[in-house]
Amino acid sequence: MEEPIVAISTPLGRGAISIVRMSGKNCLEIALKVFHCSSKEIKPRYMYFGQLEIENGTFEECLMVYFKAPFSYTGEDIVEFQIHGGMLLTQKVVELCVKNGCRPAEAGEFSKRAFMNEKITLDKAEAIIGEINAETEGELNSSLKITNGKLAEKINKEQNDLTNLLAEIEVSLDYPEHDYEEIVKEKIFEKLKEIKAQNDNIIEISKSGKYLKNGINVALVGKANVGKSSILNSLLGEDRAIVTDIEGTTRDSISESFFHKGVKINLIDTAGIRETSDVVEKIGIQKSLDSINEADIVLFIRDGSQKESKEDKEIENSLKDKLVINVINKTDKPRIISKKENEIEVSALKETNISKLKDMIVDFVITKEISADTLVLTNERHIQILEECDSLIQEIFSIKNASLDVIAMLIKKIWEKLGQITGNTENEDIISLIFSKFCLGK
Amino acid sequence: MENYDAIVIGAGHAGCEAALALARTGNKTLLLTISLDAVSFLACNPSIGGTAKGQLVSEIDALGGEMGIIADKTALQIRILNRGKGPAVQSLRAQADKNAYHTEMKKVLENEKNLFLRQGEVVGIEVENDNKIVTTSVGLKYSAKALVLATGVYLESEIIIGKTREKTGPNGFKNSHGLSESLKKLGIELVRFKTGTPVRLHSRSVDYSKMEIQKGDDDISTFSYMTEKPIENKAVCYLTYTTPKTHEIIRNNLDKAPAISGEIVGIGPRYCPSIETKIVRFADKERHQLFLEPESASTEELYLQGFSTSMPAEIQKDMVKSVIGLENAEIMRDAYAIEYDCIVPTQLNPTLELKTIKGMFFAGQINGTSGYEEAGAQGIIAGINANLYLKGQEQLVLKRSDAYIGVLIDDIVTKGTNEPYRMMTSRAEYRLLLRQDNADIRLTEIGRRVGLVSDERYKKYQEKLEKMQKIEQKLEKKAKIDEKLIIFFEKHNENPPKESLKFRDILKRVNIDIFDIEKEYKIFDESDYNLLEKVNIKIKYEGYLKQQEEDIEKMLANERLTISEDFDYKNITGLRKEAIEKLEQIKPLTIAQASRISGVSPADISILSILVKKSSKKGK
């Protein structure tokens, strides 16, 4: 069996249910790291109900089926998760599988494996080739080089820097007896730090770019009567652009969106908020908490004129690891509550600072100035590669007393990963550089 | 006409290994050489090993070859390079006694019962059905089913010193004239490469007081797993430098340098440039280091490493005298460049057999490589495969994850080379696994299977494995938590443990190695440094070794997808034109090999793997 791969196998954003599929070695093992159910033993071709741990302590209901090789579509072990539809959540499940050892599948890869394992017939082979070609062409069109010259330049430069670094390391390994200044670890680390910073920058911008494309999901939480619904209404206010059931948010929740500074902002699970405001004092905390999972940003709304309650604390605890804007409402009354981080004082009643709050939401995630030609990686796979590079760099930093051969191996891996973006994986380039930079030889 | 099972042409480092491998597996083998005095001749530097090359020698040895044994036997000095840079890149380098090396190898050849060593220059090859008939310059004819060509740098070779061009082989030996033409007639494509060698000096004329001495290592390892007693250091080398005057002389005479003026057409290696090339290309460098190496215990000749040149002999004299400590140097042999014919190696299968003629193998510099070690490595593989061919058995291909030998052969037959190819550790993607210390563990079983590993060698190997197992078992024992343990940890700057723990886990600590444990706890009955070191590396690098093994696993999946030799690339839709051309030319044997061809993209490979599968199904 080949290395495990994962992909969403239902069309994105349509339908109430999404299926995320893994195929390959150890995929049941990977699945069971994240899927919790009461059954001790997982039998093939039975459906199990359980919980997926999406993030620390955050669970999603899920159905899981396991197909044991060779009795599966690909002929390998397959695990499928059926989850409630919605792009964000589905994407998160994929990310979860990747974090636990899967690689995102390439176009046509499941079918290709199915074919290699004689699961589908010959005539289908041509179709798969078409699929791969289409993807390659598609990638070429949307590829770095054509649509994003600057980014290509930047990533190429990053790889070039690494080529230089590798040449220096390799020369000291292959030509130890020559008189040049041998590379020291400090220099290697310094260069890697630089590259990591660059990567981080690109990742950050690209993620901002993602928000530009998909909008920012914002959840409003807070105990009853702090003014969630009035803030919601003020936010939507005259800017209200779309009132619709947005695809790719959450199960049966209702989202409403508006545009600010050209960015779409999706307010999720507004149904819950509206409901609780109608039914006074029927505490909507649980409802609010549910919407948190889906959110890029959480607006934690508190009544500034009242002391903090136990419920507030509870909500606060559940918001760890989230981007939170602390919204202090009712500033038309004297303030009692203590100062918070990332806070903004508003008055929904008098509509003060609402526009500032909108600015804050946008600026919170779109941290970099993005113009039409800035460096946005739209290919998720590419963003993932840069993240993998970063964690390899982190690994190098974390090894105490690493010998140069090990460091070289890890840097080479980073170099190869970047090569998957730039298309350059020719080892010969490093060797050529060694000879052009250094005077070597007997 | 005399009949043999196999004929090997050329008794250099490739030819000797090939002939020995053939003879030792029971084939009546004829080894033809232009001169019996040139058998296994170290034509350039008097040294064996070095980075990556040391690994190659130990691999040849593990397969049952001869180079390591003779290198150990004739070493004048031995050193480990890259100590402290990690086990993967540590390599042995020995100064070898040039005369002794030749004599010892010749003795081994002469004492091999199925081997017939004979002087004779092959001028023509004819192929008649399965038979290869070779004709020598004096009209003698020999025939055999298997043929190994290992002609080194002798094919139509020319020595160049300034304006002087002489049609000779290296060191004034006769060159090979006519064979190139015969190869072309067989449809084989040739190219012209170039290399060179520096002057040899008389020891008495050197002022060593101005130079830096270079001694061998005290605790000495060996290349061969058969060598019992450690090597003694019998000689030293010296380090010296060029001066501004050297550079001035060279610059003033560049018009007379054939390598610069364009008179030399052959392509030279980037890693072995002449001193004039160095000075032109690295004009900023104020001085270049040079080493003086002893050629042999039986001569006063010294090799001046780093001073390869094809300048006129008269200018060479001035150049040498401008070097620190060589003010009164006596030159005994002039430096020269040499041009020669070699084949385009992509015409070979990874077995080193010619794709177009079965039973015809090529090894060594004729394949566009350089170096004694690279030659020996190909020689033993060509010998092994010629034998397997004769026996009708599946031939041996070492994978890139098995050995440097695998990397070397895969590189030249898949990518070709546009200069004499030298092995480097950076060419090996699984470098951490391909170490010199574990070459025997990687390859002895393979050597045994192909019939080259003797009972004696095999027994030794098994004993070693057992000893290593014992050491590892000892490491499973626990060290009791007590004052001694805590002090031991503190002494090595490690946080002391809170409870008893296995020695194996102690060994995982960064600052503690197996020798520290042995010193303190004396748990092993083993005092063999090399064995302990092997286990030490195995455990300390476990995590990284595992990473590489996982990478290999991925590669092997594609390595198992074989492409039939008559696979038709032409009529494939979906493959890019460039990819088709490259694939047609190389005719890779596996999908993995195809993926290493430059100009073949991952998408091409995806498509190809499906089509290969499809055609193999149709074939059934």
* Pick among A106, A131, A135, A173 to test the B interface (most B CBs inside 10 A): A173
pLDDT at B488: 93
Closest-CA residue to B303 (of B243, B258, B238):
B238
What's this model's pTM, rounded to 2 decimal places? 0.80
State the average pLDDT over residues B454-459. Answer: 97
Q: Positive or negative, the Cα torsion across B160, B164, B166, B172?
A: negative
Restricting to A residues 359-418, those with a Cβ less than 8 Å away from any Cβ of B are 400-401, 403-406, 408-409, 412
In angstroms, how far is CA A397 from the centroid of its own chain?
24
State the average pLDDT over residues B601-614. Answer: 80
- The partner residues of A60 in beta bridges, in order of sequence, read A52
Q: How far apart are CA B609 and CA B579, in angstroms?
A: 14
Q: Do A174 and B272 touch (CB under 8 A)?
A: no
Is residue B67 over pLDDT 90?
A: yes
Identify the burial level of A52 via C-beta atoms within 10 angstroms of its C-beta, where 0-12 means exposed, 13-18 middle and 19 or more buried: buried
3-state secondary structure of A162: helix
Q: How far apart are CA B76 and CA B556, in angstroms?
A: 41
Q: How far is B470 from chain A (nearest CA, A)?
A: 27
State the average pLDDT over residues B182-206. Answer: 96
- Are A153 and A160 spatial neighbours (Cβ–Cβ below 8 Å)? no
Closest-CA residue to B153 (of B135, B175, B136, B172):
B175
Q: State the first-to-last Cα distance of chain B, in angstroms, to the nearest integer.
A: 45
User: Which of A2, A174, A428 is closest, CB to CB, to B51?
Assistant: A174
Q: How far apart are CA B125 and CA B123, in angstroms?
A: 7
Cβ neighbours of B88 in A, within 8 Å: 405-406, 409
Tell me which of B232 and B180 has the higher pLDDT: B180
pLDDT at A378: 60
Q: Do A116 and B613 touch (CB under 8 A)?
A: yes
Amino acid at residue number B317: K
- Are B383 and B19 spatial neighbours (Cβ–Cβ below 8 Å)? yes
Q: Residue B180: pLDDT band by 50, 70, 90 thresholds?
A: very high
Q: What is the pLDDT of residues A378-434, one digit of tens each?
A: 666 778 889 999 999 999 998 877 889 999 999 999 998 888 777 777 777 787 777
Q: Residue B66: pLDDT band by 50, 70, 90 thresholds?
A: very high
Q: Positive or negative, the Cα torsion across B520, A405, B528, B461?
A: positive
Among A184-198, A257-271, B318-332, B443-457, whose mean pLDDT is lowest? A257-271
* CATH class (in words) of the domain with range B560-619: mainly alpha
For B269-281, the DSSP string reads PTTS--HHHHHHH
Q: Does A172 lie at the interface with B, CB-CB under 8 angstroms?
A: yes
Identify the burial level of A307 via C-beta atoms within 10 angstroms of its C-beta, where 0-12 means exposed, 13-18 middle and 19 or more buried: exposed
Q: Do A133 and B574 touch (CB under 8 A)?
A: yes
3-state secondary structure of A165: helix
CATH of domain B200-335: 2.40.30.260
State the average pLDDT over residues B472-488. Answer: 92
Is residue A369 over pLDDT 60?
A: no
Query: How do strand A58-67 and strand A78-84 relate by DSSP bridges?
Result: antiparallel
Q: How far is B180 from chain A (nearest CA, A)?
A: 29
pLDDT at A133: 59
User: Which of A174, A403, A439 is closest, CB to CB, to B425?
Assistant: A174
Q: Residue B331: pLDDT band by 50, 70, 90 thresholds?
A: very high
Element (DSSP H or E) covering residue A42: none
**Any idea which residue has 């005479």 for tokens?**
B253
Q: What is the pLDDT of residues A107-152, one digit of tens each?
A: 678 888 887 887 876 566 666 666 665 544 434 333 343 345 667 7
Tell me which of A15 and B26 has the higher pLDDT: B26
Query: How do strand A323-329 and strand A343-345 relate by DSSP bridges?
Result: parallel
Quote the mean pLDDT of chain B: 93
Q: Residue B292: pLDDT band by 50, 70, 90 thresholds?
A: very high
Look up residue A221 and give its two tokens: 């939480």
Cβ neighbours of B426 in A, within 8 Å: 166, 170, 173-174, 427, 430-431, 434
Q: Does A329 lie at the interface with B, CB-CB under 8 angstroms?
A: no
State the average pLDDT over residues B242-250. Answer: 96
* CATH class (in words) of the domain with range B459-546: mainly alpha
Tell me which of B602 and B300 has the higher pLDDT: B300
Is residue B287 over pLDDT 90?
A: yes
- Are A50 and A38 spatial neighbours (Cβ–Cβ below 8 Å)? yes
State the average pLDDT over residues B542-563. Answer: 89
Q: What is the DSSP letter of A104?
A: E
Q: How far is B372 from chain A (nearest CA, A)?
A: 14
Closest-CA residue to B351 (of B382, B389, B392):
B382
Helices (H), B262-371: 275-281, 313-321
State the average pLDDT over residues B21-38. Answer: 98
Q: How far apart are CA B267 and CA B264, in angstroms?
A: 8
Cβ neighbours of B511 in A, within 8 Å: 401
Give me the helix-helix angle, A354-365 and A185-214, nearest 10°.
Answer: 130
Q: Does A66 lie at the interface with B, CB-CB under 8 angstroms?
A: no
**Any idea which residue has 């098995």 for tokens?**
B402
- Are B400 and B249 spatial neighbours (Cβ–Cβ below 8 Å)? no
Q: What percent of chain B has pLDDT over 70?
A: 99
Q: How far is B561 from chain A (nearest CA, A)?
A: 10
User: Domain map of chain B by residue range?
Assistant: 200-335, 459-546, 560-619
Q: Residue A76: pLDDT band by 50, 70, 90 thresholds?
A: very high
How many residue contacts between A and B have a Cβ separation below 8 Å? 129
Residues 6+ apart with CB under 8 A from A334: A305
Q: How far apart are CA B517 and CA B503, in angstroms?
A: 8
pLDDT at A338: 84
Closest-CA residue to B40 (of B95, B94, B123, B98):
B98
CATH topology of domain A215-365: Rossmann fold (3.40.50)
3-state secondary structure of B573: coil
Is residue B152 over pLDDT 80?
A: yes
Cβ neighbours of B273 in A, within 8 Å: 439-441
pLDDT at B29: 98
Q: How far is B300 from chain A (nearest CA, A)?
A: 21
Give the Cβ contact number of residue B352 at 10 Å. 31
- Are A105 and A5 spatial neighbours (Cβ–Cβ below 8 Å)? yes
Cβ neighbours of A3 in B, within 8 Å: 554
Among A351-360, B322-331, B423-432, whose mean pLDDT is lowest? A351-360
Give the Cβ contact number of residue B448 at 10 Å. 18
- The partner residues of B292 in beta bridges, in order of sequence, read B238, B304
CATH topology of domain A144-209+379-437: Four Helix Bundle (Hemerythrin (Met), subunit A) (1.20.120)
Q: Positive or negative, the Cα torsion across B222, B228, B233, B235?
A: negative
Q: Do A406 and B86 touch (CB under 8 A)?
A: yes
Query: How do strand A58-67 and strand A240-243 relate by DSSP bridges?
Result: unpaired
User: Domain map of chain A by residue range?
Assistant: 5-136, 144-209+379-437, 215-365
pLDDT at B605: 84
pLDDT at A362: 84
Cα-flanking dihedrals φ and ψ of residue B61, to 5°? -65, -45
Q: Positive or negative, the Cα torsion across B605, B607, B611, B613?
A: positive
Q: Do B610 and A116 touch (CB under 8 A)?
A: yes
Q: To 10 degrees, the CA torsion angle through B84, B85, B88, B92?
A: -60
Q: Does A123 lie at the interface with B, CB-CB under 8 angstroms?
A: no
Among A226-230, B117-121, B165-169, B422-426, whose mean pLDDT is lowest? A226-230
Look up residue B554 and give its two tokens: 């991925």
CATH of domain A5-136: 3.30.1360.120
User: Which of B291, B541, B607 is closest, CB to CB, to A132?
Assistant: B607
Helices (H), B129-223: 179-185
Q: Positive or negative, the Cα torsion across A408, A409, A413, A416?
A: positive
Q: What is the pLDDT of residues A230-275, one digit of tens each?
A: 888 888 874 443 333 333 333 334 567 777 776 778 887 555 554 4
Q: What is the pLDDT of residues B384-402, one digit of tens each?
A: 999 999 999 999 999 999 9
Cα-flanking dihedrals φ and ψ of residue B190, to 5°? -115, 155
Tell me which of B496 and B610 has the higher pLDDT: B496
Q: Do A406 and B544 touch (CB under 8 A)?
A: yes
Amino acid at residue number B598: S
Q: How far apart are CA B581 and CA B548, in angstroms?
A: 32
Q: Do A409 and B548 touch (CB under 8 A)?
A: yes
